[in-house]
Amino acid sequence: MTRDRRLELSRRHVLAAVGGVGAAAAGAGVGTSAYFSDSEEVTGNRLVAGELDLMVDWAEHYSDWSVDENDDRVSEGVFDGDPDENDTDTDGDGVDDFDVVTTDGDPAAIPSGYVGIPTPTEPLVAVPAESLDDFQANTATEAYPDADGDGRQDPILSRDQIATANPGFDPEEIEAAYRDQFAQVPDDLEAPVIALDDVKPGDFGEVTFSLHLFDTPGYLWLTGGLVDASENGVTEPEADDPDEADGVVELLDEVRAAVWHDDGDNVLEAEEVVSSPHAVDQPSNVTLTAEEARITSGTLREVLAELSSGNGIPLDADSRSEPRDCYPNSTTRHVAFAWWLPVDHANEVQTDSVTFDLGFYTEQCRHNDGGGLEPEATATETTPE
């Protein structure tokens, strides 16, 4: 009955009752008041600055037309060494060969089923697609990581592979082992990645950098620029060449260069499937045409001038559309830099030398429009004497 009567109280009765209690309390004037109380406290509050860490690894290739560049390798990665197996030992070095076609910069000269190198638009040679891995192995010169010193990059292990191989590792140890595979430049760089002293017309090479962005999504730029250029004197054949210009380092203008988003095989193809295989935040798989994959191209002088302007050349995580996209945390992406000296240039570049920088710059994406700040260090151009 009591419960029923309480439920039947109208709002008017309730207000009157509350008012009566209030009046009684006010009339008391003084006395002891009792009330419910509680407190909640969040202790140990902490602010820690975030991190943004960019690391790299790379693989470099160089072709000087040596006789072993078209040697056929078996799947185990060792030379066949049996010229009697078939009649393809064209250079007489005791190893079966695959066919490399000279194309002299003409895309129309690339046979069906072949890949133009160093680029399909300005190929110096064409290699059978099925032998491309062999050609890359034969022309490999320098890499990181490369524990055995064979010039070829060691396999990069994923976090899952590291965890499987080391079942006692906790997550922090797995992450540390994963990042230890990559380089902190310049601390882990013992010598320039590209260091060639006897470049001849027809020579070409490329270096593919794998970029690893950790801890925070970031905008990326490809940076660099000319450090030094010199004629190193003028030889008699050089002076007699009609293309020789006084005080000009022609090597800068005759060497061609191209930069592109690569899929990790170190060759620019008609289609590049650009992926971020180990991304923590945003695994991605972006298919780019050769034109969408292209970052820049031109003479070495032109490309270096572009690299040294401001923060360098902005890189886009998805170049298929605007606006420019950030690179997610733990991104692995590949950027290739190729160079070549066309065969129709000769004496005017004799003894010329060029030294240049390549690098990458990153800024966090959050609270940032990608306009870029001044890098900590920028390359300076040295005019030739």
Q: What is the pLDDT of residues 224-262, one digit of tens each?
A: 888 888 887 766 556 666 666 777 888 888 889 999 999
Q: Tell me the percentage of the chain whose pLDDT exceeds 70.
A: 69
CA distance 325 to 369: 10
Least confident of 41-55, 170-184, 205-219: 41-55
Q: What was the pLDDT predicted at 236?
A: 57
pLDDT, one tens digit per residue, over 51-70 is 568 888 889 999 998 888 98
Q: What was the pLDDT predicted at 249?
A: 83
Instruction: Inform me whether the pLDDT recorded for 46 exceeds 70.
Output: no
Q: What is the largest CA-CA distance in the chain?
A: 122
Least confident of 57-61, 75-79, 275-279, 378-382: 378-382
**CA atoms within 13 A of residue 377's CA, in its CB half-sphere:** 8
Q: Tell me the percentage of the chain whose pLDDT exceeds 90.
A: 27
Instruction: Inform me whether the pLDDT recorded for 365 exceeds 80.
Output: yes
Instruction: Inform me whether the pLDDT recorded for 160 exceeds 60.
Output: yes
Q: Is the dihedral of CA 333, 307, 105, 289 positive or negative?
A: positive
Q: Taking a C-beta distance cutoff of 8 angstroms, is the pair 343, 204 a contact?
A: no
Instruction: Inform me whether the pLDDT recorded for 362 exceeds 60.
Output: yes
